[in-house]
Amino acid sequence: MSITQILEKNARLYADDVCLVEINPEIQEKKEVTWKEYELIEANPQEHYRKEITWKEFDDKANRFANFLLANNIKKGNKVAILLMNCIEWLPIYFGILKTGALVVPLNYRYTADEIKYCIDLSEADAMIFGFEFIGRLESIKDKINHIKPLIYTGKSCPEFAISYEEQIKNYSETAPDIEISDEEDAALYFSSGTTGFPKAILHSHANLLASCITENAHHKQTRQDNFLCIPPLYHTGAKMHWFGSFLVGGKAVLLRGVKPKWILKAVSEEQITIVWLLVPWAQDILDAVESGEISLNDYDMAQWRLMHIGAQPVPPSLIKRWKEYFPGHEYDTNYGLSESIGPGCVHLGIENIHKVGAIGVPGYGWMTKIVDDKGQEVKQGDVGELAVKGPGVMKCYYNDKEATDAVLKDGWLYTGDMAKMDDEGFIYLVDRKKDVIITGGENIYPVQIEDFLRSHRAIKDVAVIGLPDKRVGEIAAAVVELKKDHICTKEDLDTFCEALPRYKRPRVIIFDNVPRNPTGKIEKPKIREKYCKVSVVELQMSN
């Protein structure tokens, strides 16, 4: 069964059940609205605060869009880019593209105009659909991407260089196109997060997409009664691939456009959410809001919330200890994955293994792992090496980049670039990104270990550790520290706190600044290095 057939099955069995809900809390709070539909929203704000569709409506929309694309000469092998904020139209558009046999190309909504063009060129996209927020960016490059046909716009007041999605699809049939798609055919091009360089295009098959449904459901036992709160961007593999475990069995999803703690808890309460996938900063913000008195858990109905899980980055054990103090009844899981492994689940902790918090876990359902040295040989238990994974979600390749593909795909194994070690019970611990390791005086320093230690300080909200050039020892560790609101902490305080670390691991430089993270929660260390590596250590020490 293909992933599009799962949608069709759900539409047959649960036609009138609501499957997708979109909530936009900014509209309800009457914050500044940048849409052109402002007057319409003012006239009927509740309609725009919450939207919903049923499984039949979902499938009908996907079929209409598929038939529109086919009529516009988009077929197997073509690529269709999606440039949309999270919205209720996103997933029907995604599935409509898949139903044609064309490839979906989701784009990061933070991309600049030049980055959009870069990704269009790299993916060789033939068509594109975009939202209001991107009119200016696309208008600035429209003459450079005039081969994109059709260029489709979702929303009111369609710009002159595009055609209207709403006006077009109503003219096309709700009947599924008769196109056979095999498991091994190409399905999607996802872009890497770009935290270690410019994004690469990652090619996945229909079998990869189906595998993500099966793996996620095997890990978290979703049923049709589950309701998944989706907060991260849908262009990334992590968000929707976690919902895919519910999608497999007809489970519902709520798309929340906002990350404020009160918005998250309100959605959980009002929509009776059972599963929430959070990023570390969001979980921390919820706890901070509870502890500061900004929100009271007694104001929300959350008895049905059964599972909170986290992925996309290492999880500080101290965070989960705090979480369990306020949410003792929650099951918890950590998920490790990459866009190259179709998102989450190639390694996961397992809800039964909360006593091993700090580990990323064990091989996921259907997956194998190994930890290897620079020659590809497995290291001894307890030694640090590069994590490699093998399983049903491994990408086909980096699109049009054989050299990059050959560097990470070897005999079916995906070399992740993450340094890890395994304990005597078979649990894997992430040590750091291979490219982030700091070598000081011949000693390897793994920034994640220092970051985890510093996050246990009561005043620290977030921290990133990088290496700064040093003539004597090669590199020294520098910690960029973001403090919690209304907390005071000095360099001397942190120097004293870090005396509990081995001397060679202590940060030599402390920088008080915001820690930049991308939309999936990963620290953007290239930005930090660009900002600070050209500044002398002496200047940094004097300024802090």
Q: Which CATH number covers residue 496?
A: 3.30.300.30
Residue 471's SS3 state is coil
**Residues 209/210/216/217 CA torsion (nearest 10 deg):** 160
pLDDT score recorded for residue 455: 87
Query: pLDDT by residue (tens digit) across 272-284?
Result: 999 999 888 789 8
Give the C-alpha separation, 347 to 297, whole Å.
32
For the segment 324-352, the average pLDDT, to the nearest whole number, is: 90
Paired tokens of 199? 């994004």
pLDDT score recorded for residue 314: 67
For the segment 401-424, the average pLDDT, to the nearest whole number, is: 93
- The 3-class SS string of 127-193 reads EEEECHHHHHHHHHHCCCCCCCCCEEECCCCCCCCCEEHHHHHCCCCCCCCCCCCCCCCEEEEEECC
Banded pLDDT at 523 (limits 50, 70, 90) = confident
Pick from 204, 200, 205, 93: nearest CA to 150: 93
Domain membership flag for residue 48: no
pLDDT score recorded for residue 302: 94
Domain membership flag for residue 83: no
Share of the chain above pLDDT 90, in %: 63
Read off φ and ψ for residue 462, nearest 5 degrees.
Answer: -155, 160
Residue 513's SS3 state is coil
For the segment 38-44, the average pLDDT, to the nearest whole number, is: 42
Query: pLDDT by residue (tens digit) across 54-99?
Result: 999 999 999 999 999 999 999 999 999 999 999 999 999 999 999 9
Residue 292's SS3 state is helix
Query: pLDDT by residue (tens digit) across 473-499?
Result: 678 889 999 998 888 899 999 999 998
For the segment 325-350, the average pLDDT, to the nearest whole number, is: 90
For the segment 443-464, the average pLDDT, to the nearest whole number, is: 85
Higher pLDDT, 501 or 229: 229
Higher pLDDT, 438 or 261: 261
Least confident among 198-207, 385-394, 414-423, 463-472: 463-472
150: cis peptide before it, omega within 30°? yes
Give the C-alpha separation, 429 to 419, whole Å.
9
pLDDT score recorded for residue 193: 65
Domain membership flag for residue 99: no
User: How many residues would you count in the chain?
Assistant: 544
pLDDT score recorded for residue 331: 93
Answer whether 232's CB lies under 8 Å from 519's CB.
yes
Give the C-alpha separation, 482 to 240, whole Å.
30
For the segment 342-349, the average pLDDT, to the nearest whole number, is: 87
pLDDT at 236 over 90: no
pLDDT score recorded for residue 32: 42
Give the C-alpha separation, 149 to 126, whole Å.
6
Higher pLDDT, 480 or 48: 480
Count of domains observed in the chain: 1
pLDDT score recorded for residue 431: 79
Banded pLDDT at 540 (limits 50, 70, 90) = low
Checking 497-504 for CB contacts under 8 A at 24+ apart, the result is: 497/454, 497/457, 498/453, 498/454, 500/453, 501/450, 501/453, 504/440, 504/441, 504/443, 504/445
The whole domain housing 508 covers: 437-543
pLDDT score recorded for residue 255: 96
CA 311-415-353 angle, 5° bins: 35
Domain membership flag for residue 238: no
Higher pLDDT, 452 or 137: 137
Domain membership flag for residue 451: yes
Domain membership flag for residue 442: yes
For the segment 290-298, the average pLDDT, to the nearest whole number, is: 93
Least confident among 24-38, 374-388, 454-468: 24-38
Residue 392 burial (C-beta neighbours within 10 Å; 0-12, 13-18, 19+): buried
Amino acid at 513: D
Amino acid at 211: A
Answer whether 27's CB lies under 8 Å from 51's CB.
no
Higher pLDDT, 165 or 537: 165
For the segment 392-411, the average pLDDT, to the nearest whole number, is: 95
Query: pLDDT by residue (tens digit) across 492-505?
Result: 999 999 988 878 78
Paired tokens of 399? 């699109």
Domain membership flag for residue 514: yes
DSSP letter, residue 502: -
pLDDT at 544 over 60: no
Task: State pTM to two decimals.
Answer: 0.82
- Give Cα separations from 322 to 256, 380, 491, 523 (angstroms): 24, 34, 25, 22
- The 3-class SS string of 52-79 reads EEEHHHHHHHHHHHHHHHHHCCCCCCCE
Label residue 293 left, alpha or beta by phi (over 0 means left) and psi (-120 to 50 means alpha): left
Domain membership flag for residue 368: no
Helix (H) or strand (E) holding 238: helix 237-247
Paired tokens of 266? 């309100």
pLDDT at 311 over 80: no
For the segment 115-137, the average pLDDT, to the nearest whole number, is: 94
